[in-house]
Chain A
Amino acid sequence: MRTNGTVDRRSLLKMAGGSMAALGLTAAGCGSGSGSGDGTVTIRYAWWGSDDRAKRINQTIALFEKKHPKIKVQTDFQPYLDFWKKFNTQASGGNPPDVFQNAIGFLRKYDEKNVLLDLNEQVEAGNLSMDNFRAGLEEFGRVDGKLLGVPVGSNSMALVIDQPVFAKAGISPKPGWTWDEYHDAMARIRDTQGRAGDSGLYGVMYLYDLFLRQNGKAFFTEDGLGFTEADLVDWWTKGFQGVRSGVYADPKKVAQIRPKSAVAAEIAASEFTWDNFTIRYTSEGKSQYGLAPIPTTDGKTTGQYLGSLMLSGSRRTQHPKEVARFIDFMVHDPEVAKIMGYDRGVPATTEQYEAFQPTDEVNKKIAAYERQLVETRVLQPITPHPAGADVCEAAFLRVAEDVGLGKRSVDEAVQQFFTEAKTALGS
């Protein structure tokens, strides 16, 4: 009986031990696989954006790998909100990408959590140059003396418009036009063009920020919200009226075509967003898209500032030197600028700015728009973005949509937003 079909203890233990050892070996083989024998190093690079942007970025990476044969780049991209969810999870698990696209709203948040690499050291070591940045952009990624992000381009809020529709309605916005003129124009589009004027400005945090700045306030202070509940009641009441009267797009329709924009889907004739989005809309939609100035309260002040997408490194990267070289290449190499165009804004460094002379309509319009901002001297310092700003932005958009859909009274919605914002900002 003993020998028949039973395995004795000794051989079983041997088997178990052997398989454990094999497991251990595999585990050892998997760990820290980013460096290999011949000195080739692999870095992970992640960004948010559309397919169009991904195509351009992949071309720039091919160029980088050709010039730096010892560095391989692994890529990953998602739409904006998904990107940050994934990044947050990876970062909390101690496994963020080595280098990634970043924006001002996230610098303090992830600095507090020790996720971001201070690039000053790499600048001193000569792996990354912070020279030749335009318009003071080299300061944009600095927080408390640390260099946490390197701008790749500058952008600004604008009114992105469907040009033929605006032309047919006989509207040509001029710098300094007022909110009253804007609302008349939106009503004219609704009446003559059979579509809404705007896609839903009441939910765009960055536009509300500009409106507040026109009135001596701002969306954020250093550590909290810079406006009162009464301010927001006023803003959303007007927003809801706009939806009811058909001047702003029906939020039901806007929700259904996401992630496509309401302008490209021909639901609305215009949308307040970042000027470089014109490129995305052009690849999504069939019409021609242009840029119009931000309406003003006093006929002069738009409240605008330059924003910026940046590249940041992870503090946990094992290859800070390679990360710095990668960033350096992406912000200074003239060829990169020719590939990227103004997709991530107008290039941040002079060598890239000069290397790319826009020949197509869309990029020319973006260049003209930002030139006009500088010439009309409307640019002001940027609003601070405390940790938690990103959660506030998402809540603002969501609760505003509830208002637009008529699912919540304005008062109730304002209460809800303030409660969520206070939790997010920890105040």
Chain B
Amino acid sequence: MGTTVTHLPTTAAQPLTEGDEGSVPRYGPGGGERRTRAAVRRRGRRDNLAGYLFMSPWIAGFLLLTAGPMVASLYFAFTDYNLFDTPKWIGLRNFTDMFADPRWRTSVEVTLWYVVVGTPLKLAAALAVALLLNQKRRGQAFYRAAFYAPSLIGASVSIAIVWKAIFSDDAIVDRAQRALFGVDVGGWTGDPDWIIYSLVALTVWQFGAPMVIFLAGLKQVPRELYEAAEVDGAGTWRRFWHITLPMISPVLFFNVLLETIHSFQIFGSAYILGGAGGTCGPADATLVYTCYLYVQGFENSRMGFASAMAWMLLLAVGLVTAVLFWSQRRWVHYEEAAR
């Protein structure tokens, strides 16, 4: 599932204005035009061929490693397939089984909770730090690198293991909460009610990537707007709400979209934090959707069921993305008139 967004709204290409002489080659009238056109077409075709040939390693990879398996998994979704025997067509059984399965419902609940709570927190952290780093101060380059670093390593297995150690019984978080707040909830990773917060904390900590994008957006906001607002007596908050936020709303939209899709696909950190072998957290507390998909596919050898789950996830993410795109008319502000 490649989720690439093709353009950044802020860097959108300038539209070609009609009648732009320089952009479209013009040829003289009569037979000469005809001949030249044919030659151009021929050359174009040859260039295309060369282009496709240079792309062929990627195309082969895409067809063999992405498109092919996707088509196969669409077929498996309607079969009973245990990896060894030939798949048996069972129609919609996997889907009806899925809706009747309490563990599947648990995985949906855990995932939705994680997306709805984790994504806004992460974006809020990213924006807050981006605002701080956007000020003119010495050593900003260092801070930028320092805050970005966790996103580079945060998704790795080793960090998930370290995270697990930090949030265990008698480890640093457990001691701190006893010393600072006098509460004794024990280590978070063993507690079905708390482990999900350590997972959210791990996600929020990786705010670096959206932060960098926010920072780029903030740098684009024209200074005159702030100067004018200041002259009119607008305070910090008013400037933030009425200038910064609308001006960076395309970037915000981009980040919301990307991070939401990302959150739906969380696997590694949840799997490791939840104790890897066999369980996904105490009492399925970190049984995110992809973890359950993995359990069904590779532990219980129900590849048909797992494929059906994967397609449900694709549909759900597609739906959420569509809703986000539809909603952007109401809150995303594109600065076209200013150009």
Contact = CB atoms under 8 A, between A and B. Distances in A.
Interface of A: 6-7, 9, 12, 16, 79-82, 85, 88-89, 91-92, 113-115, 251-259, 391, 394, 397-398, 401-402, 405, 407-408, 416, 423-424
Contacts of B46: 6, 9
Of B82, B102, B277, most A-chain CB atoms within 10 Å = B277
A15 B202 CA distance: 48
Interface stretch (B26-34, B136-144, B294-302): B294-302
A391 B190 contact: no
Contacts of A6: 46-47, 50
B277 A416 contact: no
Nearest to B298: A85
Interface stretch (B121-129, B218-226, B279-287): B279-287
B186 interface: yes
Contacts of B300: 391, 423-424
Contacts of A79: 277
B260 interface: no
Given A88-B83, A255-B190, A394 B278 contact: yes
B53 A391 contact: no
A416 B168 contact: no
Of A85, A113, A254, most B-chain CB atoms within 10 Å = A85
Contact of B53 (A16, A255, A405, A407): A16
Given A256-B169, A256-B190, A259-B277, A251 B282 contact: yes
The 6 residue pairs across chains A and B that have the minimum distance between CB atoms: A92-B83, A407-B283, A252-B190, A81-B277, A256-B190, A113-B84
Contacts of A423: 300
Nearest to A93: B83
B59 interface: no
B231 to A, nearest CB: 55
Contacts, number: 88
28 contacts: A9-B46, A12-B50, A79-B277, A80-B277, A88-B298, A91-B84, A92-B83, A92-B84, A114-B84, A252-B192, A252-B282, A253-B169, A255-B189, A256-B168, A256-B169, A256-B187, A256-B189, A258-B275, A258-B277, A394-B278, A398-B278, A398-B284, A401-B282, A401-B283, A405-B192, A407-B282, A416-B103, A423-B300
Contacts of B298: 85, 88-89
B36 interface: no
B283 A408 contact: yes
B124 to A, nearest CB: 30
B303 to A, nearest CB: 8
A205 B214 CA distance: 53
Contacts of A89: 83, 298
A90 to B, nearest CB: 11
Nearest to B97: A423
A394 B299 contact: yes
A88 B301 contact: yes
A88 B302 CA distance: 12
A2 B8 CA distance: 37
A251 B299 CA distance: 23
Contact of B299 (A85, A115, A408): A85
Interface of B: 46-47, 49-50, 53, 56, 82-85, 102-103, 168-169, 186-187, 189-192, 275-279, 282-284, 298-301
Nearest to A89: B298
Contacts of A113: 82, 84-85
Contacts of A88: 83, 298-299, 301
A92 B301 CA distance: 10
Contacts of B192: 252, 405, 407
B282 A405 contact: yes
Of B169, B278, B299, most A-chain CB atoms within 10 Å = B278
A405 B193 CA distance: 10
A79 B278 CA distance: 11
Given A12-B49, A251-B282, A402-B283, 12 more contacts: A80-B277, A82-B276, A88-B83, A88-B301, A113-B82, A114-B84, A252-B187, A255-B275, A398-B284, A401-B279, A405-B192, A407-B284
A115 B82 CA distance: 14
A402 B284 contact: yes
B192 to A, nearest CB: 6
Nearest to A13: B53
Contacts of B190: 251-256
B83 A397 contact: no
A16 B56 contact: yes
A12 B54 CA distance: 9
Nearest to A397: B278
Contacts of B186: 252-253
A85 B187 CA distance: 28
Contacts of B85: 113
Nearest to A394: B278
A426 to B, nearest CB: 10
Contact of A9 (B49, B187, B282): B49
A352 to B, nearest CB: 31
Nearest to A15: B53
Contacts of B277: 79-82, 258-259
A252 B284 CA distance: 13
A222 to B, nearest CB: 20
Contact of A405 (B56, B102, B168, B283): B283
B171 to A, nearest CB: 9
B102 A391 contact: no
A408 B298 CA distance: 25
Contacts of A407: 192, 282-284
A131 to B, nearest CB: 34
Contacts of B191: 252
